[in-house]
Structure 1
Amino acid sequence: MYELHSCLRSVFFATVIPGTIVLSWLTGLVGLRSLQTCLVIFFLIFVLLPLIFRYSVTMQRGILFLPFIKYPKGLDLTRPENIGLYATRNFYITVKEHDTDKDGVNLGVWHVLPRHAVRRFRRELLVEAEVEQDLAPDEPSPESDQQLRELSSAIRSEFPSVLPENKQLFYERLLRMPGGTIVLYLHGNTASRGSGHRSEVYKLLRNLNYHVFTFDYRGFGDSDPVPPTEEGVVRDALMVFEYIANITSNPIFVWGHSLGTGVATHLCAKLADLRERGPRGVILESPFTNIRDEIRLHPFARLFKNLPWFDFTISRPMYNNNLRFESDMHVREFRQPIMIIHSEDDVVVPFQLGYRLYRIALDSRDRAWGPVEFHRFSAIHSYGHKYLCRAPELPGLIRQFAESYRDAVY
């Protein structure tokens, strides 16, 4: 019955516009030339454009990833301090596509130091005096801060000042310190790792005394301008994760936002399949179930989603071209705990998709695996798609999740 209703609705929406145009001509409201013009416009927008989309992989990738949308304008990603991210190292990781790949793909990466490390080494890091006001302790020192206190003299003797030639060694030295927590942040589509709402997340995590790693996928920011694919961006995330894991044994958490949630779940599933070390937990902010569901509910699809040929020309071709991001499948393939956070007023990735993913994870994952949490944020706060990081209760939720599972192994 539902399929019949859906079919009838699709036929109605596909015929109502041209039918209205023809009826207007038959009743004399518009002339023949106007009728022809309107029908041509309808054909171009609702028939020809979807057909072009069906057969253009380039267009499909462009619409999904939107790497050509760049903001803020003129941002120098080599200088993260320009957006308030002092004590942040910018560097590049090369991703090899295969063993014989000589050049690879270069990815721009940031490593944001935790607040307690910045406070303790502010002179060596050349942190300006006015920034020190942000670093006053307001909570008990973490275990890693105690380690820093005990070893600070030795580290200072080794690094009397942090210069370009020893910056990598200094940051990696702090990363190896016992007791630390690392968050790998996987951003969504458009812009770069330096866009405004993303930098707010980094600052939130820094203030929780976590090391933060974030990077731009291929085709984004100052990473190599290689057309992104699902396999490509997941490989990028895998290489950055392995870079961190090869340096430190401290727990790593993966945080994905929007399209980055699809990257995060696929990454964790791949690590599980490879039987490699995985993260201790996964945070999914504004997630969706899969690209097919997300496309149908996305605001950009409102004009097209009721067309009878929508699946044939839009969603099915993307699926066939391996642009799937099937989080509803991947959450069944790794054991780590999952925390899902979603705002009720999210119009880009509707709240119902995040909750549906939560129910799928609850019903399909083994009971011996890590728990799945879901946190709903009321629409009255207007956090929307990007600004859950401004919720006052979020830092406490993150801290509780990280402390609960930082030493757990599933």
Structure 2
Amino acid sequence: MRKRNESVTVEHERAAAAPAPLDKGCSLRHSLRLPAADTGMKRPLGRRHGLWFRLRRLIIWLLGVYIAIPFLVKLCPAIQAKLVFLNFVRVPYFIDLKRPQDQGLNHTCNYYLQPEEDVTIGVWHTVPAALWKNARGKDQLWFEDALGSSHPVILYLHGNAGTSLCFSPFQVLSSLGYHVVTFDYRGWGDSVGSPSERGMTYDALHVFDWIKARSGDNPVYIWGHSLGTGVATNLVRRLCERETPPEALILESPFTNIREEARSHPFSVIYRYFPGFDWFFLDPITTSGIKFANDENVKYISCSLLILHAEDDPVVPFHLGKKLYNIAATSRSFRDYKVQFVPFHTDLGYRHKYIYRSPELPRILR
């Protein structure tokens, strides 16, 4: 009996240890349901971990670039010079500057002048509205002779990141009876040469002398916009020092000096509170020989001054134009001359370069 009982016990133990047979309606996948569920729980966690790892790497990389840029600018001051001039940005690009008539300017002539050896600058000359009809089809000599007519002349100095074509007020000033002469500094548009503050100022002086040689006693006004205000005050200071001042100086959206403008520029926002901001970003501009010190130049200018500035200017802050006006208004050099500041309210939406749209502009200029 004992042996039989032992045999039965062994059989029961073997039966208990053996795996239960699968039902016909039960699949292998169903039988392994719990392990499959465990795998499914781990997969999203792995994905989240991988995403966080990649995001962390991206943040570290961006932080490294952010820290490296100031050192790169400091070691290569030419980078800051490029950013000040932006002469490599040509908008619009696919334009033949030799043919202003393609832009509807049938009363405009294109010249090329040579201020220095190996430097050639492109010049546009638009005649007053009274001469529009006569100007069609005329050659360069006719346009040069027309400068001797009894009409005043405006020499316009444009800002960075553009060409003479970006000067939108052609029609407005021409309709008011002005000859309008503008040009691309060396390195801009189709002008040949490398940009520098000294070179830009010399180009402007050369064009001014070229105009005066043909306009006789007709009044000549200097109009500078944005970066062109720096060229304009450099030029007019020189003209006053040699006692040949223009009739008046018009500054549109001016700044005090290039350091203060660079500090206030929208591009500087992400680094403005970076330790050593001036040393990293502003000193390289000075090292490159770029100052455009309007606040110093106005102390040596002796002619009428008109400053135009929009309150909503996002590029050159309004307070810089106002500050420049206050410096000029208290300067001895303007004792006998009119100094005027004309603000344009934010609601007008003129921003940095649309003051010419103001219906009040003709009255202001008169």
Q: Trace 1:3-22 onto structure 2 (pairs within 5 A).
A: none
TM score, norm. by length of structure 1:
0.74
Amino acid at match of 1:193: S
- 2:119 aligned with 1:105, yes or no? yes
Report the counterpart of residue 146 of structure 2 in structure 1: 174
Displacement of 1:210? 0.5
Displacement of 1:316? 1.6
Amino acid at match of 1:264: A
Report the counterpart of residue 329 of structure 2 in structure 1: 362
TM score, norm. by length of structure 2:
0.82
Report the counterpart of residue 9 of structure 1 in structure 2: none
Partner secondary structure for residue 146 of structure 2: helix
Partner secondary structure for residue 79 of structure 2: helix
Displacement of 1:73? 2.8
- 2:64 aligned with 1:43, yes or no? yes
Displacement of 1:68? 1.3
Using a 3 Å threshold, how does the CA distance of structure 1 residues 33 and 354 change in structure 2: closer, same or farther? same
Report the counterpart of residue 291 of structure 2 in structure 1: 324
Displacement of 1:272? 2.3
Contact 1:255 1:285 in 2 (8 A): yes
Amino acid at match of 1:171: F
Larger Rg: 2
Which of 233, 253, 269 is 1:302 aligned to? 269
Contact 1:57 1:321 in 2 (8 A): yes
Contact 1:286 1:354 in 2 (8 A): yes
Which of 276, 282, 286 is 2:253 aligned to? 286
Amino acid at match of 1:263: V
Which of 129, 135, 157 is 1:115 aligned to? 129
Provide the aligned C-alpha RMSD in A.
Answer: 1.8
Displacement of 1:343? 0.5
Which of 250, 263, 268 is 2:236 aligned to? 268
Alignment deviations for residues 95-133 of structure 1 (CA, whole Å, 9 cap, x no partner): 11xxxxxx33000001101111224x26xx24xxxxxxx
- Any runs of at least 4 consecutive aligned residues in structure 1 with deviations exceeding 6 A, and if so which? 30-33
Q: Trace 1:220-299 onto structure 2 (pairs within 5 A).
A: 220-224=188-192, 226-249=193-216, 250-273=218-241, 275-299=242-266
Contact 2:109 2:126 in 1 (8 A): yes
Contact 1:345 1:382 in 2 (8 A): yes
Alignment deviations for residues 168-222 of structure 1 (CA, whole Å, 9 cap, x no partner): 3211222112x32000000000121112xx1x31111100110010000111111
Amino acid at match of 1:92: Y
- Percent sequence identity over matched residues? 39
Amino acid at match of 2:274: L
Q: Trace 1:397-408 onto structure 2 (pairs within 5 A).
A: 397-398=364-365, 400=366
Partner secondary structure for residue 307 of structure 1: coil
Work out the number of aligned pairs and report it: 316
What stretches of structure 2 of length at least 5 have no aligned partner?
Answer: 1-48
Report the counterpart of residue 194 of structure 1 in structure 2: 165
Which of 199, 205, 224 is 2:173 aligned to? 205
Contact 1:331 1:365 in 2 (8 A): no
CA–CA distance in structure 2, aligned partners of residues 362 and 188 of structure 1 = 24
- 2:98 aligned with 1:78, yes or no? yes
Amino acid at match of 2:201: V
Contact 2:301 2:333 in 1 (8 A): no
Report the counterpart of residue 19 of structure 1 in structure 2: none
CA–CA distance in structure 2, aligned partners of residues 317 and 229 of structure 1 = 14
Alignment deviations for residues 40-88 of structure 1 (CA, whole Å, 9 cap, x no partner): 422321x221111122232112100111111113111111112221121
Contact 2:245 2:302 in 1 (8 A): no
Using a 3 Å threshold, how does the CA distance of structure 1 residues 33 and 118 change in structure 2: closer, same or farther? closer
CA–CA distance in structure 2, aligned partners of residues 90 and 37 of structure 1 = 51
Displacement of 1:379? 0.6
Amino acid at match of 1:388: I
Contact 1:258 1:286 in 2 (8 A): yes
Alignment deviations for residues 316-355 of structure 1 (CA, whole Å, 9 cap, x no partner): 2212322111100001111011100000110001111111
Displacement of 1:364? 2.2
